[in-house]
């Protein structure tokens, strides 16, 4: 497998291989390049009919779909997936690309596993989505994917999709979000992923965006370069965001961004053992009716505010800030505003 070098984490050079891709396929599979499908994989030919025919045949036969190294263009039409599909490649050199939005999609399907290949957008449309789960889609696994150059969001989930696992994925250079899980989505786990370079093209950018979703867990992810050039109107930029969502975030590293973790209206949110450093504005942003939040044992270094409270419609209520360490915060470790029922104890402010 190949190793890709990314900028140092916490001052230590680190090689990151987001997935352990297969050198060759195993088990029962159909290859998109084999006859009668005969995908070209040169990035120029329209390979969508060939890939779709292979998928249809594989699902009917109970086999997997294999994407050998190559660039498979879907042109300007989405690749629509069925249920009970496993599709995999050899890593970042197996590329599905296209100009449509979404590039890959499915609606109310179950049992889909996508792993060890890349999805590449064209970045021209500010609304382009990489992979989109719509309707009541369940039992979804995204493993070892590389998603990049997508105009809006890498992975997008709408409506009542549930049972979603995103693991060991690399998502970068998407317009606004690495991942976005909308209202109604539930039981989502994101871990071991690297997300970077989201510039806030339309909206305040976030690496992982839980928006009204429930049962959300993000752990052991690395997120950096989540920024904006228009802080006056797009200031709520963060590595992870719980917007009216429930869940937890732990053991994540977030750095070189505007903010670490934001919780606007989030409730029953627990954040612990996160390492947030070198953010320009804040470590945690608790605002707009957030309640029942427990923030403990986090490390925050070199930012403006360690913990900042804010108000859109209602001040946060019932927030515990305990046993955290904050260093080199230039304004204040906690700016509480008019938040109520806030417990601040056992922290180390340096």
pLDDT tens-digit profile, the chain (350 residues): 333 333 333 333 333 444 445 556 777 999 999 999 999 999 999 999 999 999 999 999 999 999 999 999 999 999 999 999 999 999 999 999 999 999 999 999 999 999 999 999 999 999 999 999 999 999 999 999 999 999 999 999 987 899 999 999 999 999 999 999 999 999 999 999 999 999 999 999 999 999 999 999 999 999 999 999 998 888 899 999 999 999 999 999 999 999 999 999 889 999 999 999 999 999 999 987 899 999 999 999 999 999 999 876 778 999 999 999 999 998 888 888 888 899 999 999 98
**pLDDT at site 233:** 86
Phi and psi, residue 302, nearest 5°: 60, 65
**pLDDT at site 4:** 36
CA distances (Å), origin 63, targets 30, 158, 209, 261, 340: 7, 28, 34, 41, 56
Do 45 and 33 meet the contact criterion of CB atoms below 8 Å apart?
Answer: no
**pLDDT at site 224:** 98
What's the burial of 232, exposed, middle or buried (CB within 10 Å: 0-12/13-18/19+)?
Answer: exposed
Q: What tokens were used for 35? A: 């006859």
Q: Where do we find the tokens 């890959």?
A: 104
**pLDDT at site 21:** 57
> Coil, strand, or helix at residue 316?
coil
Do 290 and 313 meet the contact criterion of CB atoms below 8 Å apart?
Answer: no
Task: Say how far apart CA 274 and CA 299 lie, in whole Å.
Answer: 6
Q: Are strands 4-9 and 12-16 parallel, antiparallel or unpaired?
A: antiparallel
End-to-end CA distance of the chain: 43
Q: Rg for the chain (alpha carbons), in Å?
A: 21
Q: What is the dihedral of CA 68, 71, 75, 81, to 10 degrees?
A: 30
**pLDDT at site 19:** 46
Closest to 58 in 3D by CA, of 88, 102, 78: 88
pTM above 0.75, yes or no: yes
**pLDDT at site 54:** 98
């Amino acid at each position: 497998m190949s190793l890709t070098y990314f900028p140092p984490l916490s001052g230590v050079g680190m090689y990151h291989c987001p997935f352990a891709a297969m050198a060759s396929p195993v088990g029962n599979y159909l290859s998109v390049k084999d006859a009668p499908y005969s995908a070209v994989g040169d990035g120029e030919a329209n390979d969508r009919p060939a890939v779709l025919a292979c998928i249809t045949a594989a699902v009917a036969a109970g086999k997997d779909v294999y994407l050998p190294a190559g660039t498979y263009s879907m042109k300007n039409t989405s690749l629509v997936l069925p249920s009970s599909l496993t599709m995999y490649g050899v890593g970042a050199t197996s590329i599905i690309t296209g100009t449509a939005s979404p590039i890959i999609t499915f609606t109310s399907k179950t049992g889909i596993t996508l792993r060890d290949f890349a999805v590449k957008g064209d970045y021209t449309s500010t609304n382009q989505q990489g992979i989109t789960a719509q309707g009541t889609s369940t039992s979804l696994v995204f493993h070892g994917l590389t998603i990049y150059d997508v105009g809006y969001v890498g992975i997008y989930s709408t409506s009542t999709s549930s049972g979603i696992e995103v693991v060991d994925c690399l998502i970068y250079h998407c317009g606004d979000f690495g991942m976005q899980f909308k209202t109604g989505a539930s039981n989502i786990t994101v871990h071991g992923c690297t997300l970077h370079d989201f510039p806030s093209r339309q909206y305040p950018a976030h690496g992982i965006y839980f928006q009204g979703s429930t049962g959300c867990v993000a752990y052991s992810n690395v997120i950096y370069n989540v920024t904006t050039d228009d802080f006056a109107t797009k200031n709520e930029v963060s590595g992870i965001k719980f917007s009216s969502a429930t869940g937890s975030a732990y053991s994540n590293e977030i750095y070189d961004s505007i903010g670490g973790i934001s919780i606007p209206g989030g409730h029953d949110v627990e954040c612990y053992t996160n390492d947030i450093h070198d953010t320009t504005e804040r470590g945690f942003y608790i605002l707009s009716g957030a309640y029942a939040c427990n923030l403990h044992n986090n490390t925050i270094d070199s930012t403006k505010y360690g913990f900042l409270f804010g108000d859109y419609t209602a001040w946060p209520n019932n927030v515990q800030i305990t046993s955290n360490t904050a260093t080199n915060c230039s304004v204040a470790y906690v700016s509480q505003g008019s938040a109520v029922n806030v417990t601040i104890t056992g922290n180390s402010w340096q």
